[in-house]
Amino acid sequence: MTNELSLSANAELRIATPLFNKLMLLMAGFILIGVAGGIYAQTVGHHHAFANTREMPWGMLIGVYAFFAIISTGLCLLAAMSHIFGGNKLAPLGNRMVWLSIAAIMGAFTVIGLEIENPWRMPIGNVFFPNLTSNIWWMGTLYGMAVGFMLVEFYLILTKKYSTAVILGVMGAVAEASANSNLGAVFASLNARPFWYGSQLPIFFLGCAFLSGAAAIIIFTHYAQLLRRSEMNKTTFEAMQTAGKVMGLMLFLISIATAWKYINALVGSEETILAAQALISGPLAINFWLFEITIGLLIPFALLMVTRLNSIQAMSTAALMVLVGQFFSRYNMVAAGEIVPIYRGFDELPTYFSYMPSAAEFSLVFGGIGVLGLGFLLGERFFGKAFETNGHH
């Protein structure tokens, strides 16, 4: 058995159907929409293209970046766990999780790269002008390191050098977890925004990573089976059930953490009370109660409990709802942290600022979805047999 990398050896020819080609074109179209939005923002100016203001400098796209980055972290951590403890029921999904983690972080990089006004300064400043006291510097550096580790890990998986791949996978997981907690700290260390400030967010983000990662691998494994138009084998289904157990547990824990976050906010300072009220009964109430809580937490948990993880369709539906809820959770967090004026009471400032994402911002969301979707499709087409391999690491 050769250890050389061969695309033909791992390619999944039965994936290449007319439906697959249409999905490829759709995801490519989403990417073009995102790139067009980024070019438009560069042309007319980000302050004209995006709905951000001096009072609310961070908008939806910061939440979207966090959304994709957190999915990547969850997939990377679950993949590392499945590979380290070889032979566990999650192991059959490990290789696919590594690839999807790379695709998800590329989606995050696409969104943030098109969102910032001078994207070329980011890699230059990161390398030549490091700021070791900056959470954002550490976040970018660690995510960059994680991508490097995972790319090498995936190459080693394809060439069947599993023992070395495990080492790279652990290094990638440590980098991803550290980057994810730094992402939380970007918000949590801003004492000018009381709703974000504190030690909860870095840990909360890690919890959301396990939730989002489990949901993502359930969805994409189900979609991969639909593309193959074949019955799911027993080991893969049991692996999906294990991911479903992780998702169910994290739904329970995130629900408790969310409840305590708002209980604490409602007995905190005037700013945190107003921010929490913006979500509970104010301008963000629909986003919070309908999408984040009901669709994102309550219904998926109930669906998993009722079906007892015995239905692929139910698990996939619950996972999709979880990701919708996590998307709105990131948006709600960003908006609620800024919607209360810092200098409220002066110059006749309103109780809440208003914010509605622009068309250009929505276009970048499509771009991120397109990158992740295209990454999934390309992975299934060219590495599908590696994803189906149940060999232990």
Span 146-165, pLDDT tens digits:
999 999 999 999 998 989 99
Summarize the confidence of residues 54-70 as an average pLDDT.
Answer: 95
- Angle between helices 234-266 and 270-280 in degrees, nearest 10: 130
Question: Residue 59: is its pLDDT beyond 90?
Answer: yes
The letter for the amino acid at 283 is: P
- The CATH class for the domain spanning 15-388 reads mainly alpha
Give the torsion through C-alpha atoms of 180, 183, 184, 187, to 10 deg.
180
Summarize the confidence of residues 326-334 as an average pLDDT.
Answer: 97
Between the CA of residue 165 and those of 82, 95, 155, 388, 392, what are the distances in Å?
Answer: 12, 10, 8, 17, 12
- Choice between 1 and 350, residue whose per-residue pLDDT is larger: 350
**Is the pTM of the predicted complex or chain greater than 0.85?**
yes
Q: What percent of the chain has pLDDT over 70?
A: 96
Residues 240, 319 contacting (CB under 8 angstroms): no
Contacts of 261 (CB under 8 A, 6+ apart): 200, 204
Summarize the confidence of residues 379-388 as an average pLDDT.
Answer: 91
Summarize the confidence of residues 292-296 as an average pLDDT.
Answer: 98
Residues 284, 241 contacting (CB under 8 angstroms): no
- Angle between helices 121-128 and 135-158 in degrees, nearest 10: 100
CA 243 to chain centre: 16
Summarize the confidence of residues 351-367 as an average pLDDT.
Answer: 95
Q: How confident is the model at residue 139 (pLDDT cuts 50, 70, 90)?
A: very high
State how far the Cα of 82 lies from the Cα of 84, in Å rounded to an integer: 6
Looking at residue 126, its pLDDT comes to 84
Looking at residue 1, its pLDDT comes to 42
Summarize the confidence of residues 131-140 as an average pLDDT.
Answer: 91
- Choice between 54 and 212, residue whose per-residue pLDDT is larger: 212
A 10 A CB-CB count for 53 gives 13
Summarize the confidence of residues 254-275 as an average pLDDT.
Answer: 94
* Of the listed ranges 89-93, 102-106, 209-213, 323-327, the one predicted with least confidence: 89-93
Mean pLDDT of the chain: 92
Q: Please, what's the b/e burial string for 67-76 (b: 16 or more CB within 10 A of its CB; e: otherwise)? A: bbbbbbbbbb
Q: How confident is the model at residue 391 (pLDDT cuts 50, 70, 90)?
A: very low
Residues 371, 103 contacting (CB under 8 angstroms): yes
Q: How confident is the model at residue 347 (pLDDT cuts 50, 70, 90)?
A: confident
Summarize the confidence of residues 6-11 as an average pLDDT.
Answer: 71
A 10 A CB-CB count for 129 gives 9
State how far the Cα of 51 lies from the Cα of 59, in Å rounded to an integer: 7
* Of the listed ranges 74-88, 104-118, 294-308, the one predicted with least confidence: 74-88
